[in-house]
């Protein structure tokens, strides 16, 4: 083949398909299957793992290389990790390669012996991969909790690489955030020297019995290299199958079936999603490994390595792996762009973070051949991710409209420096703190400072700068995505909870921090104030709920009983009880003063999405993923009614102000109004073409509101079901909607990360409230109805003051 290694051609040709970084060697290295959280490096087409950042130090997989100093496992919350099955069903090719023949259902688990593929490469280079079983993707979604973790630990990771004499830090280490895996595969790369190349691949199925035949047309003057799973692995699988069937592995159909049964495990990693962090000053090193190339190269050990077949127009032969070449990774271009970005105020970016998913978002899945030139031409904005303005990324995961002015620390050549706004806190904002206090103000680097000291500092810190006319107050003290926000009933407090495990209590008028409540050990998921505003209840992803005395900023009750994420928490109208819902399929009632468990309601058969009290305190309503809503007696915990007409997940439930009716919203695209006493279905609202995620009665009980991912909010007459208003969100899904306390307005957040408010009486809307850089996770009106608080995965809380009512009159 040419001087360009096959693995580099393979990467360059397939990375633009949007599945992540393509691995020429999908096999587990040294028997270690690649997992989310692995930290390592790329070498000759393979990923080499050092350790897993999500596992404890004493995990068996860490026995060989150990872990970095000060290792603290990164906690991945269940709600940010997902799986998509069948992302590659049969084969995947670069744009220059097309499949012109597939025989016998090639690539399917039901394919017959002799099934095959024929590929044609129409340009100078090309690549392909095909699979036995459909490949599945597992991935953690963007979460701000990873930002401080990477920043705090990257130097320790590099120090471990140095300690192991793994001289790889010139190319930043990878943090694996996702994988695409299958059970077996074949892959290849073309270099045709300018002429079209037709290639055929034939393989017996199951793949564990594969016999490869690879041919190129005689008109081609170029080369083709292909790989399959190692012969030693296949032999091992066959030997296991022989033991299982007690027969020779080639003797019978029973043995072949047994081979297939041993061959289903999807531990072969075709693609990686990953993060990289790079500092402005990086050490110059030569790529080398103390263990030597014989341990680093999956194809150089002789036994157990996969065959590498080289084909030309003249012959087929087994050859050695191509010479070592630096690994191509376009994410490095993003890191260099960020580090060299000319920030308007002269600040130099000290550290950059980037991901392969940022590439796909930036270039809409079509990577240019010259990425540095494309970046220079586009000049995408950057975003500082920390208060010290050291760590930055591209602001492209939540892409912005041209000319938008940011009010977070975002810099873009599209914005006018004279009018760009930065309302984030900086050192000079804290006049009462000296330099040492500033560096330690969060208490992370000075364990001698007590929580009381830190809370006292936060109480006397200056309030955030007043917003400019038409701009919100922007609060940026959290270091993770903000999951929930709540106004106190008397309107003086605003509380927010975050993935960073902290609850921040603020002055609701100016955003000044009053308390930081830090007793939770996992992400905060839900908040509720007591009716008298003296207490705050919180629920977290570890199954614990706490009750806080706000005057003392101390925990006064622990609600211990759930075995999974506490989805919601709510006070009864008289403040004597609390109700919680959880992914453990239960609803629980608690004594709000003592935290004693009063009742466990276990009739749901799936995750319980929410649970609420009726306004008169008589009932509790809950809904869940078992397609049902339920009404319970709030005193006894007994099941009163099951509302079972929905045919999809019931996401939301709400009582009418008089407690006589309940409305539910479901995945089945309907909203339904029920009689709370009898369970009778009164009205079916078929207003949406997508799942209904949020429902509510207006405060006067006249209207029912429903919000859907079909990009609409509908307001209907609560008695007749007749539509009153149809509020459009312009082709972006609606993820939250609320009535104002007086019922005059409806506010919503949507997939465009903007907050929008409509006048219910005439249907007119205020101008969109824009600025959040990620999904809005919570939305609430102040008790007076003149302000809205929103929180977001971007780590901020924003307090919006409604414009003069005439604008929406």
Residues 578, 545: contact at Cβ < 8 Å?
A: yes
pLDDT band at residue 196 using 50, 70 and 90 as cut-offs: low
Residue 597 CB burial class (10 angstroms; 0-12, 13-18, ≥19): middle
HSE (side-chain half, CA atoms, 13 Å) at 766:
25
**Rounded to whole angstroms, how far apart are CA atoms 454 and 443?**
7
Can you give the pLDDT at residue 116?
Answer: 55
Half-sphere exposure of 181 (CA within 13 A, CB side): 18
Residues 659-698 have pLDDT tens digits of: 999 999 998 999 999 999 999 999 999 999 888 989 999 9
Q: Which tokens hold the place of 774?
A: 């990620």
279: pLDDT strictly greater than 60: yes
Residue 114 has pLDDT above 60, yes or no: no
Tell whether 203 and 126 lie within a shared domain.
yes
* 672 domain residue, yes or no: no
Strand order in the sheet with 535-540: 524-529, 535-540, 544-549, 554-560
Distance from chain centroid for Cα 369: 28
DSSP, res 207? G
Domain stops at, among 401, 434, 462: 462
Percent of the chain at pLDDT > 90 equals 43
What pLDDT does residue 104 have? 41
Nearest to 150 by CA among 324, 343, 354, 11: 354
Q: Which domain holds residue 88?
A: 6-318
Average pLDDT of the residues of the chain:
77
Q: CB–CB of 660/640 below 8 Å?
A: no
Residue 763 has what pLDDT? 86
Domain match, 20 and 169 both? yes
Same domain membership, residue 292 and residue 339: no
Mean pLDDT across the stretch 227-234?
A: 66
The DSSP symbol for 74 reads -
Q: How many CB atoms lie within 10 A of CB 70?
A: 10
Residue 404 domain flag: yes
Q: Which of 373-382, 557-566, 773-782 has the lowest mean pLDDT?
A: 373-382
Rounded to whole angstroms, the Cα distance separating 588 from 634 reads 10
In a domain, residue 178? The reply is yes
What's the whole-number mean pLDDT along residues 269-277?
Answer: 94
Largest Cα span, the chain: 87
pLDDT exceeds 50 at position 733: yes
Q: Does residue 306 carry a pLDDT above 80?
A: no
Q: Which two tokens stand for residue 414?
A: 């599209």
Looking at the fold, whether 227 and 87 belong to one and the same domain comes out as: yes
User: Which one, of 146, 153, 152, lies nearest residue 177 by Cα?
Assistant: 146
Q: How many domains are there within the chain?
A: 3
Residue 110 lies in a domain: yes
Cα–Cα distance, 174 to 168 (Å, whole number): 11
Highest mean pLDDT (candidates 151-160, 187-196, 235-244, 533-542)? 533-542
Q: At 587, phi and psi to the nearest 5? A: -115, 135
Query: With 0-12 CB in 10 A as exposed, 13-18 as middle and 19+ as buried, what is 650?
Result: buried
Whether 109 and 166 map to the same domain: the answer is yes
pLDDT reading at 48 higher than 60? yes
Shared-domain flag, residues 107 and 234 = yes
Model confidence pLDDT, tens digit, residues 146-172: 888 898 999 899 888 888 877 554 567
* Structure confidence at residue 99 (pLDDT): 64
Residues 441, 402 within the same domain:
no
User: Given the DSSP bridges, would you call strands 351-355 and 391-394 parallel, antiparallel or unpaired?
Assistant: parallel
At residue 256 the predicted structure's pLDDT band, cuts being 50, 70 and 90, is very low
Residues 235 and 369 both lie in one domain:
no
Q: Give yes or no: residues 286 and 201 share one domain.
A: yes
- Residue 19: the pLDDT is 93
Can you give the C-alpha Rg of the chain in angstroms? 29
At 783, list the tokens: 């008790």
Binned at pLDDT 50, 70 and 90, residue 607 comes out as: confident
Cα angle vertex 177, ends 172, 181, to 5°?
115
* 711 against 589, higher pLDDT: 589
In a domain, 553, yes or no: no
Out of 173-177, 190-194, 751-755, least confident range: 190-194
Domain membership of residue 205 (yes or no) is yes
Please tell me whether residues 449 and 356 are part of one structural domain: no
- For residue 78, pLDDT beyond 90: no
Residues 233 and 144 placed together within one structural domain of the fold: yes
Q: Which of 318, 341, 374 is the last residue of a domain?
A: 318
Q: Is the dihedral of CA 397, 403, 405, 411 positive or negative?
A: positive
pLDDT at 270 over 50: yes
581 falls within a domain: no
pLDDT at position 80, please?
57
Q: Do 393 and 305 belong together in one domain?
A: no
Higher-pLDDT residue of 86 and 334 is 334
pLDDT exceeds 50 at position 363? yes
Residue 76 maps to a domain: yes
pTM: 0.49
Look-up: residue for tokens 């130097």? Answer: 155
pLDDT at 175: 95
Rank 93-97, 355-359, 460-464 by mean pLDDT and report only the highest. Answer: 355-359
């Amino acid at each position: 083949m040419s001087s360009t290694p096959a693995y580099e051609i393979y990467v360059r040709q397939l990375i633009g398909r949007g599945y992540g970084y393509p691995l020429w060697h999908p096999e587990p290295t040294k028997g270690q299957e690649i997992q989310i959280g692995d930290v390592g490096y790329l070498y000759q087409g393979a990923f080499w793992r050092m350790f897993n950042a999500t596992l404890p130090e004493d995990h068996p997989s860490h026995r060989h290389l150990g872990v970095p100093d000060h290792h603290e496992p990164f906690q991945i919350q269940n709600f940010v990790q997902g799986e998509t099955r069948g992302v590659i069903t049969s084969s995947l090719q670069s744009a220059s390669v097309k499949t012109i023949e597939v025989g016998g259902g090639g690539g399917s688990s039901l394919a017959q012996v002799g099934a095959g593929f024929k590929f044609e490469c129409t340009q100078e280079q090309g690549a392909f991969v095909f699979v036995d079983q459909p490949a599945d993707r597992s991935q953690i979604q963007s979460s701000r909790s990873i930002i401080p973790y990477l920043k705090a630990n990257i130097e320790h990771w590099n120090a471990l690489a140095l300690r192991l004499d793994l001289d790889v830090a010139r190319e930043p280490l990878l943090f694996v955030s996702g994988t695409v895996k299958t059970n077996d595969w074949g892959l290849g790369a073309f270099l045709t020297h300018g002429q079209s190349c037709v290639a055929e691949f034939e393989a017996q199925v199951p793949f564990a019995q594969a016999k490869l035949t690879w041919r190129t047309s005689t008109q081609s003057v170029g080369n083709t290299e292909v790989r399959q799973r190692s012969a030693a692995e296949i032999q091992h699988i066959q030997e296991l199958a022989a033991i299982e069937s007690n027969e020779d592995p080639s003797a019978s159909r029973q043995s072949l079936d047994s081979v297939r049964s041993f061959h289903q495990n999807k531990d072969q990693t075709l693609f990686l999603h990953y993060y990289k962090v790079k500092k402005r000053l990086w050490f110059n090193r030569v790529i080398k490994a103390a263990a030597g190339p014989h341990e680093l190269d999956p194809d150089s050990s002789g036994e157990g390595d996969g065959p590498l077949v080289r084909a030309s127009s003249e012959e087929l032969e087994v050859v050695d792996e191509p010479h070592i070449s630096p690994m191509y990774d376009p994410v490095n271009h993003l890191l260099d762009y960020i580090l060299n970005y000319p920030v308007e105020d002269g600040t130099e970016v000290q550290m950059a973070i980037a991901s392969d998913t940022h590439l796909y978002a930036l270039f809409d899945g079509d990577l240019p051949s010259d990425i540095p030139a494309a970046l220079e031409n586009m000049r995408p904005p950057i975003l500082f991710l920390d208060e010290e303005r050291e760590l930055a990324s591209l602001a492209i995961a939540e892409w912005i409209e041209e000319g938008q002015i940011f009010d977070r620390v975002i810099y873009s050549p599209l914005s006018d420096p004279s009018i760009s706004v930065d309302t984030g806190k900086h050192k000079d904002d804290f006049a009462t703190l000296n330099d040492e206090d500033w560096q330690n103000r969060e208490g992370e680097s000075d364990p001698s400072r007590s929580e009381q000291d830190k809370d006292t500092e936060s109480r006397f810190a200056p309030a955030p700068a007043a917003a400019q006319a038409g701009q919100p107050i922007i609060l940026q003290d959290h270091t993770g995505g903000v999951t929930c926000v709540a106004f106190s009933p008397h309107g003086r407090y605003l509380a927010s909870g975050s993935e960073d495990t902290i609850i921040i209590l603020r002055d609701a008028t100016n955003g000044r921090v009053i308390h930081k409540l830090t007793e939770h050990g996992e992400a905060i998921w839900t908040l509720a104030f007591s009716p008298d505003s003296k207490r705050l209840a919180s629920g977290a992803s570890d199954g614990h709920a706490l009750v806080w005395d706000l005057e003392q900023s101390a925990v006064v009750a622990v609600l211990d009983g759930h075995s999974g994420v506490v989805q919601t928490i709510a006070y009864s109208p008289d403040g004597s009880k609390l109700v919680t819902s959880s992914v453990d399929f239960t609803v629980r009632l608690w004594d709000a003063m003592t935290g004693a468990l009063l009742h466990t309601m276990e009739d749901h058969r799936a995750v319980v999405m929410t649970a609420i009290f009726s306004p008169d305190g008589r009932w509790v309503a809950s809904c869940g993923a078992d397609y049902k809503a339920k009404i319970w007696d709030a005193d006894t915990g007994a099941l009163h009614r099951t509302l079972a007409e929905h045919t999809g997940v019931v996401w939301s439930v709400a009582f009418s102000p008089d407690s006589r009716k309940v409305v539910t919203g479901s995945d089945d695209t309907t909203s339904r109004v029920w009689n709370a006493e009898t369970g009778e279905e009164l009205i079916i609202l078929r207003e949406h073409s997508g799942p209904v995620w949020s429902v509510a009665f207006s405060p006067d009980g006249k209207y029912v509101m429903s919000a859907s991912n079909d990009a609409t909010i509908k307001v209907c007459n609560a008695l007749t079901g007749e539509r009153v208003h149809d509020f459009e969100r312009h082709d972006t899904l609606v993820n939250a909607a609320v009535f104002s306390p007086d019922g005059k307005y409806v506010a919503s957040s949507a997939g465009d990360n903007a907050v929008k408010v409509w006048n219910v009486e005439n249907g007119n809307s205020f101008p969109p409230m824009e600025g959040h850089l990620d999904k809005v996770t919570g939305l609430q009106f102040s008790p007076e109805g003149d302000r809205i608080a929103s929180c977001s995965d971007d780590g901020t809380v924003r307090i919006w003051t409604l414009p003069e009512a005439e604008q929406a009159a």
